[in-house]
């Protein structure tokens, strides 16, 4: 199983879309508090449609709690590195860690020695960032593809 983690997400629609992503790929979605919304937020529920019951979602009080539960490597996503997501060989149990909108992961998280590496998603020059849910989707599907779409049809 792949793990998708959002560190302190603020926009309920992005997390709702990630719930749907987790349900459709069999990934586990981890949310690190504090969240910028209530889990019962109507925008979150609308974005996740009726996939909330199909998704595996866990909320963690802090980064330490998240990292203690991840069985594989932790790939942290940022625009502040040169290594791209297509250069990684993903494995079952890996975690894809994304920062909050609009600032991304704070430096102290990126400096954590428990992270495997910092990774980026390619974009044209001058582009600042992708939407959080879109970024998670791009990388989750690449990792799942590498794993042979295990569990998919």
Taking the model in full, what pTM does it have? Answer: 0.92
Q: Flag whether pLDDT at 12 surpasses 60.
A: yes
For 14-58, write each residue's pLDDT tens digit. 998 999 999 999 999 999 999 988 877 575 555 445 665 678 899
Ordered structural domains, the chain, with CATH: 3-146 (3.40.1280.10)
Q: How far apart are CA 31 and CA 34, in angstroms?
A: 9
**Residue 152: pLDDT band by 50, 70, 90 thresholds?**
confident
Rounded mean pLDDT, 88-92:
97
Q: What is the mean pLDDT of residues 105-130?
A: 94
Q: Are strands 95-98 and 3-7 parallel, antiparallel or unpaired?
A: parallel
Token reading at 44? 């979150």
CA distance 46 to 90: 31
Name the average pLDDT for the chain. 91
Range of weakest confidence among 43-47, 92-96, 99-103, 123-127: 43-47
Helices (H), the chain: 12-25, 42-48, 63-69, 107-110, 132-146
* Span between the terminal Cα atoms of the chain, in Å: 15
In degrees rounded to 5, what are phi and psi of residue 62? -165, 175
Beta bridge partners of 88: none
Cβ atoms within 10 Å of 42's Cβ, excluding its own: 11
Cα dist from 40 to 21, 28, 45, 53, whole Å? 18, 19, 7, 13
């Amino acid at each position: 199983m792949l793990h998708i983690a959002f560190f302190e997400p603020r926009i309920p629609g992005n997390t709702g879309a990630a719930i749907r992503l987790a349900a459709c790929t069999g990934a586990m979605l981890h949310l690190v508090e504090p969240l910028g919304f209530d889990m019962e937020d109507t925008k979150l529920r609308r974005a996740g449609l009726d996939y909330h019951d199909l998704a595996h979602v866990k909320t963690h009080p802090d980064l330490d709690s998240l990292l203690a539960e991840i069985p594989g490597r932790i790939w942290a996503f940022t625009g502040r590195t040169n290594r791209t997501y297509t250069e990684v060989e993903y494995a079952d149990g890996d975690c894809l860690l994304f920062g909050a909108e609009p600032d991304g992961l704070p430096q102290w998280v990126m400096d954590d020695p428990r992270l495997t590496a910092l990774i980026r998603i390619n974009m044209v020059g001058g582009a600042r960032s992708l939407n959080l849910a879109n970024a998670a989707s791009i990388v989750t599907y690449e990792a799942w593809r590498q794993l042979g779409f295990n569990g998919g049809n």
